[in-house]
Amino acid sequence: MSKRTQAPPEPVARTFTQASLIAPPRQSGWRGVSGSAFDAARLVWRAAPRQLLTTLVLQTALALGLGVLVAKRLLDELIAGNSGSEELSALAPAFAILIGAVIAMGLMNAVIQHQQRLLTEKVFVLVFDEIIRVANSVELDAFEDPVFYDQLQRARTSGTYRPLEMVTSLNSLTTASLASLGITFVLFRLEPLLVPLVLLAALPLLLASVLNSRRLHEFEYYITPRNRERTYLMEILTGQDAAKEIRVFNATSYLRRRYDELTAERYAMIRTFAAQRLKVSAAAAVCNSIGIAIALGSLAVLLGTDRIDVATAVAGGAAMQLLSGRLSGFSGSVGKLVESTLFLDDYRTFVKLAEGRAHAEPAPPPDPDAVPEFGGLTLDKVSFRYPHTERTVLDEISLDIEKGEVVALVGENGSGKTTLVKLICALHQPTGGSLAWGGSDYRDLDPAEVRAEITVLFQDFLRYELTVADNIALGRVERESGLAALERAAEQAGAMDAIRRLPDGFDTRLGRQFYGGHEMSLGQWQRLALARAFYRDGSFLIFDEPTASLDPKAEAALFEQIRLLAEGRSVLLISHRFSSVRSADRIFVLEQGRLIESGNHDELMALDGQYAHMFRLQAAAYMSDSPT
């Protein structure tokens, strides 16, 4: 057995400090925060105006602060009276009012919690509706950009739990503000001098809360790429698709070590960041305590100099404690609101990605009968490079496909074949040159209408873990056809035998991720993908390596079905199997993004160029004198 190779070296640890943080792009100053807060309130209003109004009304009723005045009145009566039976009976109405207020506040709190839960869910739905809309509206090249994935991750994170914080912060801020105003009024009635002392004592808490909230957003913004990598490794370590390979290769321990390294790095960064936040919070708490002590000392001086009586002093002390607690809650709510609205900026930045794009608002699927059939495709000096890269993937490609023609595209891996398909499907915009559909420039056409007449069978086709019927009907969701159309597409694709063996036929859920799911072989999944293509019934067919993972027998059977689908239609076939492409009307050869040869099979063999060379290499594998 060969000697084991040495594991890759450990990554060098990075020292994290506050200076490491990257300030995210945002509106500066309090104006930006107030603008974000306004947008947050508008978002909540859009999501659930009735629940928001109900919550605010009930919170207003709870925050009047009348309990202190009722308690003071009771205390005055008790001190002034002799506590006899007649005096106590005179206090019964006030006690009844106080008990009734307590019960009412308990009931209102229960209703508020119920309304907040509904409000939060509606905000969550609205936020993710926008995220899905934008993700399906941006150009496909956005998914080639790591910056986009960072933005998507931040928007997802914000949409997952920030709406709850945002709603809670708005509600808490409203409650704290109303309660603070009510208690401030009561305290002002008792002794005006005490009000500014308590307010000044709470100021450090407010400043610290806002500062820490801003820094938390900067920290989360900074670690987003690392969080994405941890999530990616977690998906590999726990996902079905990767399970067999990482176990066969014994790669679990290495990948787990990578994950643990990122986790340890994250923990170290959080510890450093938390220590910095603690310093700010501790300094604010000390200043607040000193301020409260001064306020209480002033109250004692007022009582000692007979400027206030005992009842007023007791009520004033209680009001000061209540106001201090409310202001502390107010500071925390402001900090949370600032934090939530800053994260809301990430969501808004993501939503703005779809602004100014021709298809920013996904239109309903076009009527298949209203879309003109394929009338020929022309590429004129088409070039393309992916965003943030220097390599030209396609370099001045010029070709045409006539109506009813079968054209093949061949070339080595990385020659640009699949990228060319994406441009034809209007998934990318060329960086140079132009494409024309039936004589009309792609730039003058609605991409959805172009795609409506294109049927694509990709090598990496999707396996939808939904029902069999869903897997086929997704070929054209706007088509209103019943079971008969699904059965016809399945019969044409040769998938009916497999479907009949399933327990619920077309209603059987596929895959093992959900309860009641049934797994299918790769060939059966591929026939379902072909059934989806039959069901779509487009006039221009594109097959991108449709048989790359099949054995020769399965490949022959699948191509027989493809030929049936291709009758009377134009076809673009991409394949490494020269036995499949040799019968095409014309064959185009790509090499490193350039079109180097074109013609039919006989013409290209006579040319004795790259196509002939690749054909002979592949044919040699099947031509051997050795007995079988």
pLDDT tens digits, 97-120: 667 777 877 888 888 888 878 888
pLDDT for residue 146 is more than 90: no
Check if the beta carbon of residue 530 is closer than 8 Å to that of residue 457.
Answer: yes
Higher model confidence: residue 261 or residue 300? 261
What confidence score (pLDDT) does residue 334 get? 82
In terms of domains, do 161 and 242 share one? yes
76: domain CATH number?
1.20.1560.10
- 42-46 own/partner pairs: CB under 8 Å, 24+ apart: 43/123, 43/126, 43/127, 43/166, 43/344, 44/119, 44/123, 44/166, 44/167, 44/170, 46/126
In terms of domains, do 397 and 290 share one? no
pLDDT for residue 244 is more than 60: yes
In terms of domains, do 398 and 345 share one? no
Q: For 469-494, what is the mean pLDDT?
A: 87
Residue 459 lies in a domain: yes
Q: For 436-440, what is the mean pLDDT?
A: 87
The residues, any chain, with a CB within 8 Å of residue 547's CB and separated by 6 or more, are 554, 555, 558, 559, 575, 577, 580
| One-letter-per-residue 3-state SS of 457-492 | ECCCCCCCCCEHHHHHHCCCCCCCCCHHHHHHHHHH
The overall average pLDDT reported for the chain is 79
Q: For 585-600, what is the mean pLDDT?
A: 92
Residue 427 lies in a domain: yes
What confidence score (pLDDT) does residue 2 get? 42
Q: For 76-88, what is the mean pLDDT?
A: 57
In terms of domains, do 349 and 391 share one? no
Q: For 600-621, what is the mean pLDDT?
A: 88
Most confident option among 83-87, 140-144, 205-209: 205-209
Higher model confidence: residue 120 or residue 25? 120
This prediction's pTM: 0.69
Q: For 314-319, what is the mean pLDDT?
A: 79
Q: For 317-323, what is the mean pLDDT?
A: 80
Residue 489 lies in a domain: no
In terms of domains, do 386 and 299 share one? no
In terms of domains, do 343 and 393 share one? no
Residue 407 lies in a domain: yes
Q: For 451-467, what is the mean pLDDT?
A: 87
The residues, any chain, with a CB within 8 Å of residue 473's CB and separated by 6 or more, are 479, 486, 535
In terms of domains, do 330 and 457 share one? no
401: domain CATH number?
3.40.50.300
* Structural domain containing residue 618: 376-466+538-623
What confidence score (pLDDT) does residue 300 get? 84
Residue 22 lies in a domain: no
In terms of domains, do 57 and 177 share one? yes
What confidence score (pLDDT) does residue 506 get? 93
| One-letter-per-residue 3-state SS of 536-599 | HCCCEEEEECCCCCCCHHHHHHHHHHHHHHHCCCEEEEECCCHHHHCCCCEEEEEECCEEEEEE
Domain boundary among 356, 390, 409: 356
In terms of domains, do 252 and 129 share one? yes
Q: How many domains does the chain have?
A: 2
In terms of domains, do 413 and 348 share one? no
d(CA 146, CA 228): 10
